[in-house]
Structure formats: structure tokens, C-alpha cells
Structure 1
Amino acid sequence: MYVSSKYVFSNHRLAVLAILTSFTVFGCGSGRSVVDTSKSDTANIQPPLVYTVDLNDRTGDTFKVTLSVDDLTADNAVYQFASTAPGTYQVMDIGRFVRSFQALDADGNVIPSTDVSTNQWRISRPEEVAQIQYTLAETWDTPVEEHAVYMMAGTSIEDDHVLINGQAVFGYPAGMQSRPLKIKLEYPAAWKAGTALEKDASGHYVADDYDHVVDSPILLGRLSEASVDVRGTAVELYTYSKTDKVHSDQVLDAVRDILDSAGDFLVDLPVDRYTLLLHFEDVSMG
């Protein structure tokens, strides 16, 4: 059996990703208001990068992404996709999965752009940009000649579910990696979404910066859900099961004693919410 895991810890959140044989577990926790401006000088607050991902249109197994931004300068002329991500220990080169890329002005006119490297697109007149639109293929089912993206760090689009790891969907203009993000996910009304990211009043998922999004996987689709309180910390489980044989309440029942014991041992858990994302396929890996 092949087992791998990733742990990312700070005083704000904990993220754990692990893959075990035929199922994948994605987990993350959040213990903060994602965009906390209570102690900041409001004059210095950077406007967020606002992304929209259309998951209603899943044709071609591609993500349709729109970034709305209107304050680019010559310093932000290059749009950057991830070459790797913390904890993955591999070359990812997400630019390989880009299928289309264009920058538009406020009137919808295309601003010329060119790909200058595997993961970078240069926009000729960044000051005129109002939107950047691009499509990316999913990583799970897209063949590549080398550096296949490890499943727990990749993406999947199917008729009944979608998996998003931030570094494999979102890029950013050069110099803006530290900007806050707002993400609007458009998906079927019957679907559920699981992630540690919080929503704002407008329905956007919000994050402090690009790295926060990378630390916060998202699972959407035909999911079951369950939750439990462990010493004042919410533990949420969202499960996708291709065969519908595994449900979140079953998993929670199986690990409840472990969670309670961990709570008793630690006494004070480091975050106020954990979200575990479980993905069960109908294949085995060995």
C-alpha cells in the first residue's frame, strides 16, 4: 500500500492531505476570519483579486476561470501559474494544462498576450486590463509526458463532482501573490461544497492571499456530510463515493473515538474548525 501525507501548520490553521490506496483524503482547518482588517490601516488594504470559476460548464474536462482586476501596472504584466506547491516535493508546471488564455479591456476587446515560459503569460498592455480569462485541463485525466501531478495535489472534473487544489486552478499577476482573494464558484444547485475557506456576505469564498488558497482544497458535487464537536472545535466531513457505498456518517462513526481521544489529550485544539474531504474511487492502488 502506498501512503503519503502533507502537513501544513501555522498558528491560524492546519492542513493535512493524504492518499491511501483507493481513496483520497483532503483535510484543512481554519481558525480565523480570513480577511481580518480590524487591526489594519484601511488606507493600506489591498483590493482583492476576484475570481469566478464556472463549474456548470464542465465540457472538455476544463476549468473556466475569470479574474476581474482593474489596477494592473507594468510591474504586473506577467500572469503566473504554479510551478510547484509547498509540501508536494515535485515539479507541477500547471501552465502545461492551460488550454486558452486572454486578457480583455473594459469594452471586451482582447489585449495581446504571449506565453513566455511554461507557466507565464505576458500581457502587452496590463494597464488596460479589466478581466483575464483562461481555461485549464484537469490533472487527473490529462496525460503528460513527464512530471505527472500527484493526485492529492491535482484536480478532477466529472459529471457528479469536482476537486480543486488551488495551485492547479488559480494563477496570479506578478507581484500580487500577497493580495487577498475572493472566489465565486458557480455549480449545480443540487451539489454540496466542502472547504475550510469561509464565505463572505456576497457568497464568495475569501482568503488572505494566494498561499491560503493553496492550503485550502475544495471538493464539490454529490457529497454526503457529517460533523461533530470536539472540545468546542467543529470537525466536518464531506465525502464523495463513486459507488455510493461510503458515507460521511459511517466514517465519522469509525473515527469518533479517535477524535475524542485526541481532544482529551490536546485539551485545547489549535483551530476552531477542521474540514476533512474524502474522495473514494472504485479502484485499488498497490
Structure 2
Amino acid sequence: MIRSIFIAAFVISGTLSTFAQNSYQYTADIANIKSDAVAITLKTPAISQQEVTFSFPKAIPGSYARKDYGRFIADFEAFDKSGKKLKINKLNENQYSISNATTLDQISYRVNDTWDEKHKDFIFQPGGSNIEAGTNVVMNNHAFYGYFEGMADMPFEIAVSKPADFYGATHLDVNRASPQKDIIKAKNYVYLADNPIIYSRPDTASFYEGKSKINIAVFSATGKVKSAQVTAYLKPISAALNKFFNGLPISSYQFLYYFEDPEKALADRAKGEGGYGALEHNYSSLYYLPEMTLESRLKSMVYDVSMHEFLHIQTPLNLHSNEIEHFNFTAPVMSQHLWLYEGITEYFAQLVQVQNGLTNEKQFFAKMREKMSEADEFGDFSMTEMSKRVMEDSFQKKYNSVYSRGALLGLMLDLEIREKTGGKKDLKQVITELSKKYGPNRPFDDNKLFDEFVAASHPAVKDFLDKYIAGPNAIPYQEYFGKIGYEYAPTKDVQAYYPGKMGLKYDEPTKSFLFTGVENNPLGIADNDVFKAIDGVAVSGENIDEIWGSYFQENTQHPSISFTVVRKGQEKTLSGKILDGQFKTKHYLEPMPAATAQQKQLLSALIGR
């Protein structure tokens, strides 16, 4: 017994020693940032070959475009144990060859941020890095740390020197060794790259949804958005997804939000430098969004983008191909199933909201109309071919179609499955079944997914997949919306009513809406009139979008309107008939006046009403 214990202890000790020798030992100094650059050093693992290649990613999972993070690396140097420089050769934008590598002991370089510098091929902010001394560091690890080719599966340890009042929010394992130092660990490069960090003065919160802990960290450029607000938005989202999944398939999840000053963000967008959005990861998501003072707009934005990213805990976390499981950061081979990873996810993001009362039926179908208009920009094409070849410029231009065409295909595919199985199965059940078969550690064969999908749903589904996902055929909107009692037409002349040309602006100090840019109108509305009520309904941040849509954008029901406004402190009522005429609406979509019982039943099963 004693002998056995001694042998076991010896083996464990040997394993720990091997771990220490065969790991990446990084240091990053974010306490002493100079010229928006961070100094990095690496105590290298043992190298057995005379020449070795050190790489930074060309592309990353979840972002389907060339990034070339090596562009932002400067002063790259390699040293042996005596401190002597070794010969290096820059092979391309992202890779360095190091000679006499068996003597290699240390590498050093500087990381420049990707957000602030004007450059070609700007990296979308959630996939890049921001380095602002004393304010924040957005540390997407793929932008900071590299690896040796053939050695990406080794463990990583990163010692981060930081300001004492900075907190590093991340899903990664962090030993907060002292106020000025964090020790971060990752089991390999894929896991490191999959878990971003935001360093800033802390504004964090957390809550449990079922057995899953949800963590929130917020950086707000001018302090307008707080973690408590965002937490209030995420609680109903998490509850809805817990119901959707019948228990969230993760033990914890990290939301990382960067809310930018909208004036700066607008200036950046005007220069073509990125835009608002988010990047999903398996156990976290990173957001770059504008600060908003109007609570309803902030809530709606967080709902939409957070629901989508959170849903990625299903795909690709629990259902993905070999190409994603064994992602090649320097020579990426893409999966052909972006329609699944992004399109179905975006469809579910809208479906979960309407099924759980976070939006209503009218809002759900208005969103589908928006997506039809957005899909028009890309035309008809094979989604699988686009996905496989998305790194090519001509196909990269069609990438954003996954959020429009892809989501619409998700809706049609869901209806196809429900109809063909007589309501016994739906798209969610099929995805769930496949997720259970594979899971986070077992990828599927990219070329066999359609066969698996058909086997899990219905033989007739093959024709749909072949025609509209693998094939370039136009989506038959009229056919599928007709199944749920909605009339569809590509264009339709509609009788409409107009109050005149005018806009609205939100006045933060008074928390009210003011008319602006007003031209001649039949009711005498004037610039800076405070919009108080319409047809007896008080105007608020919660209902302003619905009012604007119903009365000002596509008004088909209100030939006469009664406005209540405040002008120079005096409340006025402005009532009467407004302008009328015909307009040609695109992607007309309205409930049929006499839908059949079968149509109503399928609609009710879909949206949960």
C-alpha cells in the first residue's frame, strides 16, 4: 500500500514538472502602456527542431474573414538563454521563422491596437483589440498572443501586470495574485483564443438562471450604461433560453460589453472603420455597441444582439464540423454550414423572443420583412458554396446574408419540418437531437450533415436542403408564409395616409420627443413641438417605435389623427384628416382575413400563441 502511494505521488510530481517545461509562459504589461502598445514576452516551451515557425492568426473561428493579426505586431525578437538574439525571418504578415531554435529561450514583441489606427481592412471591433492606457484594454487573446506551429495544443499561462484598480472580466481561469497582477491559464491556444478579456475599472454583476451562472461586465465610455441595467435585460433573455433548451447547456457564461460614446462611434463608422455588433465564443461573447440614453432603444438593441450570441451555446458549441473543431488559424479551411451556425441561430434569436412574449407577433413578422429586404442585396446563391469559399473576396461580400437569407431559410425549414412530420417535430428538436449526438467534443463530417439532418427530421426535407441551401433557388416566400395564414406579395399598391414630412429627436434633459425637420403639413405641427400623445395614447420611450411605424411610416389605418403637443409651454390639440395616396410596399406581408384552421394551428404552434 505504501509503495503504491509512493509510485503514484512520483508520477504526479513528474507530470507537473513536464507541464512546466512544456507550456507557454507569457507576460503582458498593461500597467505601462506606451503609444497604445503593450509589451509582451514569452518564456518559450522546449523546441526540438533547428528551425521553428511562430504564428499569429490569419483568421479566427466565428469571424469569417481574413484578419492578419500579425499586422499589429512590432519589434519581434527571439533570444537564447544567454540573452543573445537569434536569427529570425519574417515569412509573411503573420509568421516568423526562428533559426537555431533548440537554443530558444525567450521571445519579445509589442502589440498595437486594432481599433484606433486608420488602416486597410479594418478589423470589426469585437474581433480586435483596444489599448487605452489607464482606461481599458480589450484583450482578444488571438490579437495578443501567438504560438509555434505544431505546438498549439500546449497549455498557456499569462502573467498580466495591470493597474491596481483594473479588473479582468473573462471566462478564463484567473488567479488574481495581487492587485497589480493576474495569472491567466488556458489548456491550449484554441481555448485561449476563444475567451476574450476586458480590463477596466469594474462594473460587473452576476445571477443564476437554473444551474447556470451568468456573468456581466460593462465598460461604458461616458458612464451612461451600467451593468445593473444590462442585467435587467439579460434576465428575461436567460429565462427564455433556459426554457428553450430545457436547461442551459453550460455551467457559466460571460457577457462582455463595451459601450462606445455614440459620437465617436459615428465618426469611426463614417470613416469605414468597423461597426456595432458582437463576436460569439463558446462560453462568452464580446460586444461593441453605442451608448443610448433612451432606455427602450438600449433594451431592444441588447435583446437582439445578446439573444443571438447567447444562442451560440447550441451551435457551434454543441454542433460543429471538423473544420471548426480543428481550426487552422494560419491556413483556415471553412465549413460549408454557416447557414446553420449563423442563419439558424439568428432565426432562433427572433423565435425565442416571440415565443416568450419579449416581442409580439406583429414585431416578429416585421423583422422577417426587414430580413427579406436585406436579403435582396445579395441575390440568390448557394449558401453552402458561399460558406465554404467565404474567405474569397467575391464570397466575403455575401457573408452578411447569413443574418437575413439564412434566418429566413431557418423559418421556412422549421415550417417544412413541422408540416411534413404532422407537428411531431420542429427545427429546434432536430438541432437538439443532433447536438446530443455530437456535443462540444465530437465534430460532424462537413459533407455528411445534410444526410444526418434528413435522418433526424423527414425524408422530404432533403429536397428543401438541396434546392434552397445547397442550391441557388429563390426562397418561395409566398408558399411558406401561406402555410401560416399570411398573405405575401413581392410588391403591392397600398392605400396609405401621411401626416406630412417631419422627424423626431429625443431630448435627454426633459426625457421627451420633439418634432424636427418639419415641413408643411395639414395639422400645423411645428419644429420643437413636444410630442405628448396621439389618438389619446400617451407617447413614451416604450411605445414610440410602434407609434412611429403605425402612424408615420406605413399608415394604412388612420386617415384622421389627433395629436397632443406642447408648444412654448402650452398644450395644444391638433386634429383632422391627413394626406392620403397610394404607395408601393415591398415584401407585403399581412395576416389573411380568412385563414383556415390548419393555417392558424401551424402559426400558433410556431410562435407559441
**Other-structure match for 2:128:** 154
Q: 1:180 aligned to 151, 155, 161, which one? A: 155
2:205 is aligned to 226
Q: How far apart are the structure 1 equivalents of 2:156 and 2:32?
A: 22
Distance 1:216 1:185 in 2: 15
Q: Which residue of 2 aligns with 1:170?
A: 145
- Where does the alignment leave 5 or more consecutive residues of structure 2 unmatched? 1-13, 270-609
Corresponding position of 2:249:
270
**8 Å CA contact retained: 1:76, 1:173:** no
Q: Choose from 115, 126, 129 the match for 2:101.
A: 126
Map Cα deviations across residues 37-71 of structure 1 (whole Å, 9 max, x no partner).
xxxx9498682211111101211111211111141
Q: Determine helix, strand or coil for the equivalent of 2:32.
A: coil
Matching residue of 1:240: 219
1:169 and 1:238 mapped to 2: Cα distance?
21
In the TM superposition, what are the counterparts of 1:33-52 in structure 2 within 5 Å? Answer: 42=15, 47-52=22-27
Among 44, 47, 59, the alignment partner of 1:84 is 59
Point out which structure has higher relative CO (alpha carbons under 8 A, 6+ apart).
1
Cα offset for 1:206?
1.3
Distance 1:200 1:191, change over 3 A: closer
Instruction: Work out the CA distance in 2 between the residues paired with 1:116 and 1:184.
Output: 28
2:192 aligns with 213
> Does the C-alpha gap of structure 1 residues 205 and 88 become closer, same or farther in structure 2, counting only changes over 3 Å?
same
For residues 51-66 of structure 1, what are the structure 2 equivalents within 5 Å? Answer: 51-66=26-41
1:141 and 2:120 are equivalent in the alignment: no
Large movers: runs of 4+ above 3 Å: 41-46, 200-203
Q: Which has the higher helix share?
A: 2
Contact preservation (8 Å) 1:76, 1:175:
no
SS in 1 for 2:240: helix
Q: One-letter code of the match for 1:198?
A: D
Cα separation, 2, equivalents of 1:272 and 1:222:
26
Larger radius of gyration: 2
Q: Deviations over 1:163-198 (max 9, x none)?
A: 011211111112111111111211101011100001
Shift in alpha-carbon separation, 1:70–1:252, aligned structure 2, 3 A = closer
Kept in 1: contact 2:50–2:100 (CA 8 A): no
Query: Does the residue aligned with 2:65 lie in a helix, a strand or coil?
Result: coil
CA deviations on 1:70-108 (whole Å, 9 max, x unpaired) are 411326611111111112111111111111111112222
Cα-to-partner distance string for 1:82-135 (whole Å, 9 max, x where unaligned): 111112111111111111111112222222212121111111211111111111
The 8 Å contact of residues 51 and 99 in structure 2, kept in 1 or not, is answered as: no
After superposition, the Cα gap between the structure-2 partners of 1:70 and 1:262, relative to the gap in structure 1 and judged at 3 Å, is closer
| Change in 2 beyond 3 A, CA 1:168/1:268 | same
Could you tell me which residue of structure 2 aligns to residue 21 of structure 1?
none
- 1:215-265 C-alpha deviation (Å, 9 max, x unpaired): 101100123001001112110100000101111111101232222232234
For 1:204, what is the secondary structure of its paired residue? strand
Deviation at 1:274, TM superposition (A): 0.6
In structure 2, what is the Cα distance between the partners aligned to 1:226 and 1:220?
15
TM-score (ref. length: structure 2):
0.39
TM-score, structure 1 as length reference: 0.80
Q: 1:267 Cα shift? A: 3.3
Q: RMSD of aligned C-alpha atoms? A: 2.2
Corresponding residue SS for 1:117: coil
Q: What percent identity do the matched residue pairs reach?
A: 29
Instruction: State how far apart, in whole Å, the 2-side matches of 1:236 and 1:267 are.
Output: 20
- Seen in structure 2, the aligned counterparts of structure 1 residues 165 and 260 have a Cα distance that, compared at 3 Å, is same
Q: Could you tell me whether the CA contact under 8 Å between 1:75 and 1:174 is conserved in 2?
A: no
Q: Which amino acid in 2 is paired with 1:54? A: D
Question: Among 72, 81, 86, which residue is 1:106 paired with?
Answer: 81
Unaligned residue ranges in structure 1 (runs of 5+): 1-40
Q: Do the aligned partners of 1:223 and 1:241 also contact (CA within 8 Å) in 2?
A: no
Aligned with residue 97 of structure 1, among 72, 78, 81: 72
Could you tell me how far apart the structure 1 residues matched to 2:176 and 2:198 are?
21
Bigger shift: residues 195-204 or 231-240: 195-204
Query: Do the aligned residues in 2 keep the contact of 1:242 with 1:280 (CA within 8 Å)?
Result: yes
Change (3 A) 1:76 1:267: farther
Distance 1:216 1:76 in 2: 30
1:282 aligns with 2:281: no
Q: Distance in 2 between matches of 1:73 and 1:117?
A: 23
Show the counterpart of 1:191: 166
- Pick which of 189-198 and 57-66 moved more: 57-66
* AA at the equivalent of 2:98: I
Residue number in structure 1 paired with 2:314: none
1:136-172 alpha-carbon deviations (Å, 9 max, x no partner): 2111112223x22111100000130000112111111
**Would the alpha carbon gap of residues 70 and 229 (structure 1) be closer, same or farther in structure 2, given more than 3 Å must change?**
closer
Contact 1:156 1:162 in 2 (8 A): yes
